[in-house]
Structure 1
Amino acid sequence: MSTWSQDAEEISREAKAPKLSGRVHIIGLGNAGTFIAHSLAARQSPPPITLLMHQASFYQTFRRKKRSLAVNYNGLDDNRTGFDVEILEDKVWRRIPSGEEQHDAQEEEEIYESDQDFHEEEGHIECLIVCCKAYMTEKVIRDVRHRLSPNSTILLVQNGLGIVEKLNRDLFPDEHSRPHYMQGVLSHGLKKQDSYKIGHVSVGSLILSPVVTSHTPLIEAERDTHWAPTTKYLLRLLTLTPSLVATADTPAGLLQYQLERLTVSSVLGSLGAIHDCKNRDLLHNYAVSRTMRLLLLEISSVIYALPELRGIPGIEDRFSPERLRRLVINVAANRPEDASSLRNDLRYQQNTEIDFLNGWIVRRGEELGMKCVLNYMIVQLVLSRMQMISQREASAVPIDFENVILTGDNTKDD
């Protein structure tokens, strides 16, 4: 197996372009980002990896963890180090190399304030992997937009659809100056155990594909092999990383996986958030089953009408309402204790990805002349629940239990 350096050199030579540095930048160290960064570091020849952090507190926690990422396999922790870190401070990225001198924990605050380990870093980013929530994507990429070029490649590993269109509209309106995109669907079972530590619950895969321009029909995109060198390098790097179990697919194939994931999240995730329940509570409930069927009829109708999938065989069977219903029920039955990320976001008073789930169905339906009233209602119910929780918390009266004045005379009479 070739090393990352050999791959970078070979791809650059084939493209007759300057040699790639091979460095991979990663934004978002949740379950997916931690797993991908850890897997790359676990290669026999790990590439240079930079973790991008938007807050100093993230790095302080990372430092307390000995600058390591951990994945628990079958009860055993696998720790990986060697990561470079860049921290955003006053809109400037500052780099902390992986080989910095190790200091005691009590010196940590003084070290950060003295700034002695920080180096200003505004260099070009070749390969950027984004694993944050869909609604945060525009903000985090905006902070590194000046470091991206038409030769860069951005890999988006997220739930929901419509993210690329939003980036093109708000950040990269000029088609000739925007970076290249890849998208991925990660199906490994991952569960957070601690900061920068996750548990690997079940083996899955990472399905990858470059994103084609809106002018290229997906069924014709399979013949398009004119990819940027950074796209080829990142695709080869990930597919040759054993623990990721990554495979390359066509844009049409990836979109179908994304639509299946979107369907599950738009039904289980949204209903779980509205009812504040786990997957098991949505099973064997007649009223919930009726709601699911009506939602799936609407979602299936939109998918059938998508021009991107026109001419692709098997679409009618794969995205029939009954087949989608079985898919949703199987996920709920196999993961009964799971709670949707939408539900967790509401409980912690965070923004949700609802606009990129049911909201995407509503928008695409309107573009195709369809009124998706049920999915629109689901979006509004989630948003209203989020507003209710915020108002409830805002109206709560804080109580300082440490300084409560007790009434009554507790002294004894002589």
Structure 2
Amino acid sequence: MFGVRPLLRTATPQLFGAKWYDLQRLLSSRPASTWTQDTEELSGKDNRRLSGRIHVLGVGNVGTFVAHSLKSRPSPPPITLMLHNSLMFSNWLSRKKCLAINMNGLDDIKTDFDVNVFHNAKWRSVDNNEEIECLIVTVKAPMTPMALEGVRHRLTPDSTVLFLQNGMGVIDEVNETVFPDPSQRPHYMVGITSHGLAQREDTFHVSHNGVGTTIIGPVLPQHSGSKDTEPDWAPSTKYLLRTLTLTPPLVAVAEPPTSLLMHQLEKLAMNSIINPLTVLMDCHNGELLYNFSVTRLMRLLLYEISEVICSLPELQGIPGIESRFSPERLRGMATQLMHKTAKNTSSMLQDVRGRKATEIEYLNGYIVRRGEELGIKCVVNYTIKHLVLAKQIESRQKEWNAIPVDVRSDLERGEP
């Protein structure tokens, strides 16, 4: 299956603009090209050639899979893995500097990666001051601003950052805390993946349990001016798009910004239902299907999620939004996904069990925040969000042996 070239969605100039159509043609123009040929073709107008190096920040399930997939290309680009502490580096050395993906009981091992290590508040490597042209961020959403802060000095307005993670709203937070000056921001891409990935017992070793797709696309810059003005995609953006869409194991598809946003919102809706409910019930995904009270709660959540999404100003005027994000359709999608992943443990439940921060603020929390902007009170999503946060704190308190009561902090946030 991985020998089949990934498909690129067709987008006409009438729907998405002439420059997007030209970009699609560029991505598929030379499927057999090497990364060195791509850097030559896609270099900027100033004849400054791209290095072709891709940095991966976050080497969990998704980061490992992406880096391993890139190394599977006939002509793999240079790849740098960014390890967030010295313990990860020690594990990297003990794993003999390799990544492994297990499929059907067999390990496929890839080597020849470069690494950066975050130690004593600095990234340590021989190329520590090297400019990062293409950065793929796969860390959890709550950790993203802090992770990017450490490499901000290596990102320029010519760089491209791909956010490949769950949840929405992280780019707004990054703009506010890491890149407050629009003229100094790198170019952004976002992506979602549906591959079935699970961590094995040791680090840098991931099981690939189900083939999915990876949908990626560029984000329109907020300072681009009129919506009728199409941006010129940066050479690093074009290079990263072409490299990923022509990497067979990723089964990657390039989508224009509006279409990609709708895919993001669909996944947001699914994650906002399944993830928090599995945390509260402490169960596998499929067990949610057979609890009548849970299905009633799921229906109430979906009504709020549907109302918020259908009211978003960025989706107004797009045909079929009400049908695509209707509670009935979303419920059918959630039911089908729970059947498909019945034996899986959601990533949020894994985080709570591992006493890690969850992505709840970027799932149900995002729905609550956007609802407030639109004058929609999302009481059920608000309740679910705080129940998950309470569960998260409870799991930590078992270790700390303390009872948290911080009335002042709640009042400062304006919460009851």
TM exceeding 0.5: yes
- What is the aligned partner in structure 2 of residue 115 from structure 1? none
Is 1:18 the counterpart of 2:18 in the alignment?
no
- What is the aligned partner in structure 1 of residue 100 from structure 2? 70
TM alignment of 1:123-272, pairs within 5 A = 123-193=130-200, 194-214=202-222, 224=230, 226-272=232-278
Q: Check conservation: 1:71, 1:79, Cα contact below 8 A.
A: yes
Q: State the distance in 1 between where 2:103 and 2:230 align.
A: 39
Q: How many residues align?
A: 370
Q: Check conservation: 1:30, 1:132, Cα contact below 8 A.
A: yes
Q: Deviations over 1:106-125 (max 9, x none)?
A: xxxxxxxxxxxxx3621111
1:17 Cα deviation after fit: 3.8
Q: State the distance in 1 between where 2:297 and 2:223 align.
A: 37
Q: Name which structure has the greater RCO, CA cutoff 8 Å, separation 6+.
A: 2
Q: State the distance in 1 between where 2:323 and 2:46 align.
A: 45
1:217 Cα deviation after fit: 10
The alpha-carbon distance between structure 1 residues 217 and 302, as it changes in their structure 2 partners (threshold 3 A), is farther
1:144 Cα deviation after fit: 0.3
Give the alignment's TM-score, normalised by structure 1: 0.86
2:91 to 30, 43, 61: 61
Give the alignment's TM-score, normalised by structure 2: 0.86
The alpha-carbon distance between structure 1 residues 371 and 94, as it changes in their structure 2 partners (threshold 3 A), is same
Query: Partner amino acid for 1:253?
Result: S
Q: Check conservation: 1:217, 1:308, Cα contact below 8 A.
A: no
Q: State the distance in 2 between where 1:44 and 1:179 align.
A: 29
SS in 2 for 1:213: coil
Query: Partner amino acid for 1:135?
Result: P
- What is the aligned partner in structure 1 of residue 4 from structure 2? none
Query: Partner amino acid for 1:257?
Result: H
- What is the aligned partner in structure 1 of residue 5 from structure 2? none
1:83 Cα deviation after fit: 0.2
Q: State the distance in 2 between where 1:391 and 1:131 align.
A: 28
Q: State the distance in 2 between where 1:377 and 1:17 align.
A: 55
The alpha-carbon distance between structure 1 residues 215 and 296, as it changes in their structure 2 partners (threshold 3 A), is farther
- What is the aligned partner in structure 2 of residue 384 from structure 1? 390
Q: Deviations over 1:52-102 (max 9, x none)?
A: 11211111111111111111122221101010011122233222xxxxxxx
Is 1:79 the counterpart of 2:87 in the alignment?
no
1:356 to 359, 362, 387: 362
Q: Deviations over 1:13-34 (max 9, x none)?
A: 5x34400101000011111100
Q: Deviations over 1:377-414 (max 9, x none)?
A: 01111111122222232229xxxxxxxxxxxxxxxxxx
2:72 to 26, 42, 59: 42
Q: Check conservation: 1:208, 1:248, Cα contact below 8 A.
A: yes
Is 1:375 the counterpart of 2:381 in the alignment?
yes
Is 1:3 the counterpart of 2:31 in the alignment?
no
Q: State the distance in 2 between where 1:385 and 1:75 align.
A: 35
Q: State the distance in 2 between where 1:126 and 1:395 align.
A: 46
- What is the aligned partner in structure 1 of residue 17 from structure 2? none
Q: State the distance in 1 between where 2:88 and 2:330 align.
A: 39
Q: State the distance in 2 between where 1:38 and 1:120 align.
A: 21
SS in 2 for 1:72: strand
Q: State the distance in 2 between where 1:120 and 1:152 align.
A: 16
Give the RMSD, CA atoms, in angstroms.
1.7
1:343 Cα deviation after fit: 1.2
Q: State the distance in 2 between where 1:239 and 1:7 align.
A: 13
The alpha-carbon distance between structure 1 residues 216 and 364, as it changes in their structure 2 partners (threshold 3 A), is farther
The alpha-carbon distance between structure 1 residues 55 and 361, as it changes in their structure 2 partners (threshold 3 A), is same
1:285 Cα deviation after fit: 1.6
Query: Partner amino acid for 2:336?
Result: N
Which blocks of at least 5 consecutive residues in structure 1 are unaligned? 96-118, 397-414
